[in-house]
Structure 1
Amino acid sequence: MTENDGWEPAGPPPPPVAARPPAANPWAAPAWHRPPRRSGGGVAGAAVALVILVVTVGVIAVVPHELSGHALAVPNALHRSDSAPDGVRDTPVAVPELETNPLLANGVELNEVSCTLPELGRTGAELSAYYEALTECLQQAWRRALDHAHEPSQRVSVSVTLTKVSACGSAPSKDQAVAYYCGGDSTIYAPTDWMLADAGQNPSRHLATIAHEYGHHVQDESGILAAAGDRMTSPNQDAPHDRALVRRIELQANCFGALFIAAAEGRGSISRATANAAVADYGRADDSGDHGSRVNQLAWAKAGFSVGTTSACNTWSAPDSEVS
């Protein structure tokens, strides 16, 4: 699918049926994740760091294990409750739950935003300025939803250079990722060479990738990644149960990315044509055991874009056929 391909908005998907405490289990560390291969030989990029989804999807490095296909963040976040210590009850906290996470409740929407983005250039400085402006707009859009869920809304950083070792451990190789999100330092790593090789000067592709990666940040902030990590059964993520969890993570990041695109469509620097091309870009990847079939990767993006509420992105309550 090219950026000029159009699609009819899909109908609504099945009805949605301050500081973190130290990690207490081996799945609680941040991870990096790589994007899936796309048709045409390109590498997708945009998932979490977890890796880049939105056009990325991939492997995540966690401590002390290395997980492939998803990103995990510090679990064991505090649950909100009437018995919470003084000063905690009114403080936004991550809620380590999946299908019942407050972020996915009915009627939760993003702020409509008008993003003012600089010209997309080819130098590291130009890409950095573009991504910084885009992630600032992403935060503005997502703040409403996270505030509604009483969950944290911390800033994310973007790095266009790649350090050999980060808070998530050793960095992936150029062949493994296009971009990735590291929950350990709340940073999206989008190396200049990698991004230009995959997306060139195509703004819709950069938009889809960064929005997907930011979706992983939202999963981290809300406690969704922590909850998913707690359900993992094997350190190498080889078990069918674990791979199914990873697919739900990645498909949700696509949906979250498209939710933002809908919130920014037709305003500021993001035209309707760019927005539609960015959503279509989620269908650029080939079928993937970690990210789902090409059909489902696009379907979840369309759901977020068309419905416009976070409940449309509840991959955790969806039947297996829709997250395969």
Structure 2
Amino acid sequence: MAARPPAANPWAAPAWQRPARRRGGATVGAVLALVILVVTVGGVAVVPHELSGHALAVPTALHRADSAPDGARSTPAAVPELETNPLLANGVKLGEVSCDLPELGQTGAELEAYYEALTGCLEQAWRPALGHADEPSEKVSVSVTLPKVSACGSAPSQDQAVAYYCGGDSTIYAPTDWMLADAGQNRSRHLATIAHEYGHHVQDESGILAAAGDRMTSPNQDTPHDQALVRRIELQANCFGALFIAAAEGRGSISRATANAAVADYGRADDSDDHGSRANQLAWAKAGFSAGTTSACNTWSAPDSAVS
């Protein structure tokens, strides 16, 4: 079938931008319309000790590729669907990886080297799952400096985010000062945050972010309906982050102790309208870590009580 671009929506302006964690207890914005900083324990929203964030998805024409003679799509393409997204089908797993990470330093160059190695390992782990779903697996960039303006518009303030993902340029922004103020030399916290942010990248690549954006009803995603969608996005990013942690646990630079601490870090956030209750933020991380399959992260088919 010919490809059909998704309907216009607030998220699809420049690109998905998600704040990493929030500082304090305040919520930072919605996932789509706002420059949603996806706060994750290492992620896109803006919460000091919690996962939260936003995402501005300016998806390039997301569509299914024309079918090949045998009915299969000729090239990987994002599928703008939520609960029925191929990435969330039964039996889809990440590949086990052994991450060789450098020492976690305190300079921008040292942090950048650490994040580059970590995101390379994340890409390696996620590639089999996205390949199974016949969806793209593109490299993500990492920046430890904060641009005044990016493909997702103006950057959030330090009070809003610790790190965030911008789909417009497929970049995780993790400013050195912000990350060190939030995580210091706590390797598990850096791991949880970047894994959460990469989870937003996976949502972008798979078409989940675009599909969520199409369901938004308000420019600022501040209605109860839109906040519920944002919570499902953020909680899924926690689950995706923990899926990776499980795939890397006990090998290379990620010991079992570091992995367990990283998963527990997802439960350090306060209750949030756009990231969910502290209990649910941790519950979805534990679900991904324990199950090991992407279907365990289908927040879109979960009851409201599980994503409150």
Provide TM-score, normalisation by structure 1.
Answer: 0.84
The 1:157/1:57 distance shift into structure 2, 3 A limit, reads closer
Pick the aligned partner of 2:159 from 167, 175, 186: 175
Pick the aligned partner of 2:45 from 40, 46, 58: 58
Matches within 5 A, 1:156-195: 156-195=140-179
CA distance in 2, matches of 1:42, 1:258: 24
Pick the aligned partner of 2:234 from 247, 250, 265: 250
Listed one character per residue, the Cα deviations across residues 208-250 of structure 1 (whole Å, up to 9, x for unaligned) are: 0000000000000000000000000000112111000000000
CA distance in 2, matches of 1:37, 1:24: 30
The reply on whether 1:26 has 2:9 as its aligned counterpart is yes
Look up the SS of the partner of 2:18 in the other structure. Answer: coil
CA displacement at 1:71 relative to structure 2 = 1.2
Instruction: Figure out how many residues of one structure are paired with residues of the other and give that number.
Output: 293
CA distance in 1, matches of 2:228, 2:76: 29
Pick the aligned partner of 1:239 from 211, 223, 232: 223
Amino acid at match of 1:320: D
Unmatched 5+ stretches in structure 2:
47-51
CA displacement at 1:56 relative to structure 2 = 4.1
Look up the SS of the partner of 1:33 in the other structure. Answer: strand
CA distance in 1, matches of 2:100, 2:205: 25
CA distance in 2, matches of 1:186, 1:277: 27
CA displacement at 1:50 relative to structure 2 = 4.5
CA distance in 1, matches of 2:39, 2:101: 20
Listed one character per residue, the Cα deviations across residues 144-167 of structure 1 (whole Å, up to 9, x for unaligned) are: 000000000000000000110000
CA displacement at 1:42 relative to structure 2 = 11
The reply on whether 1:101 has 2:85 as its aligned counterpart is yes
CA distance in 1, matches of 2:299, 2:6: 25
Matches within 5 A, 1:291-302: 291-302=275-286
Look up the SS of the partner of 1:89 in the other structure. Answer: coil
Amino acid at match of 2:89: A
The reply on whether 1:320 has 2:307 as its aligned counterpart is no
CA distance in 2, matches of 1:213, 1:260: 12
The 1:36/1:136 distance shift into structure 2, 3 A limit, reads closer
Amino acid at match of 1:232: M
CA distance in 1, matches of 2:43, 2:272: 11
CA distance in 1, matches of 2:36, 2:101: 23
Tell me whether 138-147 or 233-242 shows the greater mean CA deviation.
233-242
Native 8 Å contact 1:34 1:179 kept in 2: yes
Aligned residue in 2 for 1:281 = 265
Native 8 Å contact 2:106 2:180 kept in 1: yes
Amino acid at match of 2:45: G
Native 8 Å contact 1:43 1:56 kept in 2: no
Amino acid at match of 1:79: R
Native 8 Å contact 2:6 2:214 kept in 1: no
CA distance in 1, matches of 2:57, 2:185: 32
Unmatched 5+ stretches in structure 1:
1-19, 60-67
CA distance in 2, matches of 1:21, 1:212: 30
Listed one character per residue, the Cα deviations across residues 79-112 of structure 1 (whole Å, up to 9, x for unaligned) are: 3564x79xx9311000000000000000000000
Native 8 Å contact 2:26 2:272 kept in 1: no
Q: Percent of pairs identical after alignment?
A: 81
Provide TM-score, normalisation by structure 2.
Answer: 0.88
CA distance in 2, matches of 1:72, 1:222: 15
Supply the RMSD in Å over aligned alpha carbons: 2.7
Aligned residue in 1 for 2:49 = none
Aligned residue in 2 for 1:11 = none
